[in-house]
Structure 1
Amino acid sequence: MGPVFALPALLPDFILSFKLSSAEAGWLSGITFAGYAAAVPVLSALTDRMDARRVYIAGALVAGLSALLFALLAQGFWSALLFRALAGIGLAGTYMPGLKAMVDRTAGPQQPKWLSWYTASFSLGTGISFLAAGLLAQGLGWRGCFAVLGGGAVLAAGLVLLLRPQTPVVVLGAKLLDLRPVLANRQVMAYVLGYFAHMWELFGLRSWMVAFLAFAAAGQAVLTPTVAAAVSSLVAMAASIGGAALALRFDRVRACSVFALSSAALALLVGLSAGWGSGWGLAVVALMLVYNGVVQLDSAALTTGTVLAAAPERRGAAIAVHSLVGFIGGFLGPLGFGWVLDMAGGHQSAPAWTFAFASLGAVAALGPLALWGLNRTKRN
């Protein structure tokens, strides 16, 4: 995960050095998740046919290569766009295939808890990515930073190579990309569409958080924007685990709906904090930490809901659909945020930040509609 959020962590610097508009910055942040969405149907569906460990190792090596190429060859918007798209393909080969590798190696009543921990670890990786990028760039520059972080992806490939082999159960006659049984499963699609709205908000937030804090919280010196982003990811990890536990204890659909509506309200409040002034910088950071926790409450709960609602022999395909649709939202969120920011006055305008965050909240509020509209059968 090291290279994944290195660009958002250094986004203010790239805006200046690459002379980017807010819309172009949104493209660079979002294209990673577009690359992810393009590759994940095939790579995740493959885990129903072969050991998911093999897919993960290939994906980790691609992730490391993309970071190295970015470090050596990125010169401006278009070259950076290409290498960040390749990074998304690497992420597609690791995140959900890694989940499937764990599902294939676990069973019993504790499995939902392990699923929640795995999904929540995405936030831990996010935090490390933000923090490491900020620290490494200070001493090595952004090129050295990307090169070092790419080495972490290669290390991940070596770690997963140590797992014992596991052959999945293959459905006879099933086609590799036949996703129709998954699309016909109303329970699965309820969680998938809820995940789409969640990912739009989450990645819009994560891609623009450092740039927002550099604007709205510049008057405080307690936490730099990249350190605040790293701390927020740890808060998000704890919240994701906690939200998954609440979804197991209470009704999953109701819990996820409450989480989504709460994060939508906080998105608007964070946007309004852009105009509070320099004396309120620490309060803005504190509010951002709270928002990061709330927005993450339903992440693991939604993914676990998809896995539990899917037929065991089609979990790879269900994960493929879940991840594809979710990361399309992950691509559109940063792009839409940047577009609203430009249209409303640019990244130096406090009202523009308010409108941009309000757009995230509006999409987040649509998630419960899908959860309640489609999930009419027995809930997990």
Structure 2
Amino acid sequence: MCIGQVGNLLPHVTLSANLAQHLMPAWGLSAAEGGLMASGYAFGYMLAVPLLTTLTDRIDARLVLLCGSVFSGLATVAFGIFARGFWSGAAIWSLAGLGFAGAYMPGLKALTDRLPAGDTSRAVTLYTSSFSVGVGLSFLVAQIIADRWGWRTAFVVTGFGPVAMVVACLLMQAQRPVPKVGRLLDFAPVFANREALGYIFGYGAHCFELYGIRTWLVGFWTFVIAHQGAPSWLSPVAMSFCFAVISMPASILGNEAALKFGRHRTITIVMLASACVAIIIGLNATAPAWVLALLLMIYGLTVPADSGALTAGMSAAAVSEHRGATLALHSTVGFGLSALGAWGTGAALDAAGGPESATGWRLVFAVLASGILLGPLAFALGADGALGKAAIVRAEAPT
């Protein structure tokens, strides 16, 4: 499943990897337009994920995963062949995100449905953290191919990545969920679960920051090279790949810390640390390249360190018969705020002078810091819900 997910993620940041260097110059896009086009992926995901993920409470998640993977790959190939500007690019990239809505959380559901009973947090964390490996390879492959054979070829090639998950689905045993009656899109039980809601809204703050920096990482490092210079081995390709790949150990270690010290405490500390690092990068946007490279690697550790713990916490807090609906709301909130993060940072960049302005990049990192600082507020809701649930259990316990 983890290998299949890496394949599904090969198209994931193909647009972001080529946005600043290829697509914006070719189509004459502003940063806000570029960010809005990139956010189309998250927007399409957000629209489709409630239906596709809650559907896994009724049919085998493997079938949703298989169809979503195929659709995502075909849409990515279509972008490389048919996209001709902002509107066509945004429309096709939104379809790719719609396909990925059937590939990520339904994949997690297919995995958890086949795991033995008990604490599955490590398996969930391994699956979610392999996301980072897939994104790293997406950055690497998309930029290398685009530099040699053009950005259209990059989209076509990365569009074949989901074949890996198609193979995984075909090798997976069929498993039907327990039959369920009632409305398909019934989120009332999820909204009643305040502990799960805390993790869901915390995940939204995490996604805002994560998608914002992934959208503009290559653009920021291109600015650094143009104004401060950097060694040839510190290219945008190398920087974006390293930034993404170190996310996997960061996510795993973050979850291990959460298991030892408590999820709420660990996630809150990570979010506060990430906001501090973002502010420091923004204030030092004109510092020497080696300083910014070091700060970005630290940021590459803090941004994803809460991811596995957030998703594992949500999964553990979910009521088993509503797990599909809980996963759907988790993804809807997360990718909805991902879309806002991509567009909001682009709009901030335009408002403060554009991609060639240090002031613009300072504002981008300030926006990222503001977004993640909303995360700890979400845990006030989740902590209250968890405490309330514990109080009810104690009150009802026999004496």
The interval holding the TM-score normalised by the smaller chain is: over 0.9
Q: How far apart in 1 are the matches of 2:317 and 2:212?
A: 28
- Cα deviation digits, residues 241-267 of structure 1 (max 9, x gap): 110111111111111111111101111
- 1:238 matched to 2:246? The reply is no
- Alignment-derived partner of residue 371 in structure 2: 363
- Give SS of 1:159's match: helix
Q: How far apart in 1 are the matches of 2:344 and 2:116?
A: 40
The amino acid of 1:355's aligned partner reads L
Aligned ranges 1:259-298 → 2 under 5 Å: 259-276=270-287, 280-298=288-306
Q: How far apart in 1 are the matches of 2:204 and 2:291?
A: 30
Q: Is the 8 A contact 2:195 2:381 kept in 1?
A: no
The amino acid of 1:367's aligned partner reads G
Q: How far apart in 2 are the matches of 1:34 and 1:365?
A: 23
- Alignment-derived partner of residue 187 in structure 1: 195
| Worse overlay, 44-53 or 131-140 | 131-140
Q: Is the 8 A contact 1:35 1:89 kept in 2?
A: yes
Deviation at 1:374, TM superposition (A): 3.4
Q: Is the 8 A contact 1:275 1:351 kept in 2?
A: no
- Alignment-derived partner of residue 342 in structure 1: 350
Q: How far apart in 2 are the matches of 1:88 and 1:161?
A: 22
Q: How far apart in 1 are the matches of 2:199 and 2:386?
A: 13
Deviation at 1:224, TM superposition (A): 1.1
- Alignment-derived partner of residue 104 in structure 1: 113
- Cα deviation digits, residues 216-251 of structure 1 (max 9, x gap): 244112221122111111111110011011111111
Q: Is the 8 A contact 1:217 1:284 kept in 2?
A: no
Deviation at 1:138, TM superposition (A): 2.2
- Alignment-derived partner of residue 394 in structure 2: none
- Give SS of 1:296's match: coil
- 1:212 matched to 2:223? The reply is no
Q: How far apart in 2 are the matches of 1:61 and 1:43?
A: 14
Q: Is the 8 A contact 2:194 2:381 kept in 1?
A: no
Deviation at 1:156, TM superposition (A): 2.1
- 1:56 matched to 2:62? The reply is no
Q: Is the 8 A contact 2:197 2:381 kept in 1?
A: no
- Alignment-derived partner of residue 177 in structure 1: 185
Q: How far apart in 2 are the matches of 1:331 and 1:357?
A: 16
The amino acid of 2:159's aligned partner reads G
Deviation at 1:154, TM superposition (A): 2.8
- Alignment-derived partner of residue 375 in structure 1: 383
Q: Runs of 4+ in structure 1 displaced over 4 angstroms?
A: none
- The count of aligned residue pairs is 376
Unaligned runs of 5+ in 1: none
- Cα deviation digits, residues 3-56 of structure 1 (max 9, x gap): 110111111211111111010011111110000000000010011011111001
Aligned ranges 1:55-204 → 2 under 5 Å: 55-109=64-118, 111-171=120-180, 173-204=181-212
Q: How far apart in 2 are the matches of 1:174 and 1:252?
A: 33
Unaligned runs of 5+ in 2: 1-8, 391-399
- Cα deviation digits, residues 179-230 of structure 1 (max 9, x gap): 1100111001111111111100110011100000100244112221122111
- Alignment-derived partner of residue 259 in structure 2: 248
Q: How far apart in 2 are the matches of 1:358 and 1:107?
A: 43
The amino acid of 1:41's aligned partner reads P
Q: How far apart in 1 are the matches of 2:300 and 2:282?
A: 13
> Aligned-pair RMSD on alpha carbons?
1.3
The amino acid of 1:133's aligned partner reads A
Q: How far apart in 2 are the matches of 1:364 and 1:205?
A: 12
Q: How far apart in 2 are the matches of 1:47 and 1:250?
A: 33
TM-score under structure 2 normalisation? 0.92
Q: How far apart in 2 are the matches of 1:9 and 1:80?
A: 15
Q: Is the 8 A contact 1:170 1:313 kept in 2?
A: no
Q: How far apart in 2 are the matches of 1:109 and 1:217?
A: 49
Q: Is the 8 A contact 1:5 1:129 kept in 2?
A: yes
Q: Is the 8 A contact 1:3 1:149 kept in 2?
A: yes
Q: How far apart in 2 are the matches of 1:186 and 1:343?
A: 37
1:47 pairs with one of 35, 56, 66: 56
- 1:34 matched to 2:38? The reply is no
- Identical amino acids, percent of aligned pairs: 41
The amino acid of 2:341's aligned partner reads G
Q: How far apart in 1 are the matches of 2:199 and 2:66?
A: 28
The amino acid of 1:257's aligned partner reads T
| Worse overlay, 78-87 or 225-234 | 225-234
The amino acid of 2:189's aligned partner reads P
The amino acid of 1:45's aligned partner reads T
Q: Is the 8 A contact 1:253 1:372 kept in 2?
A: no
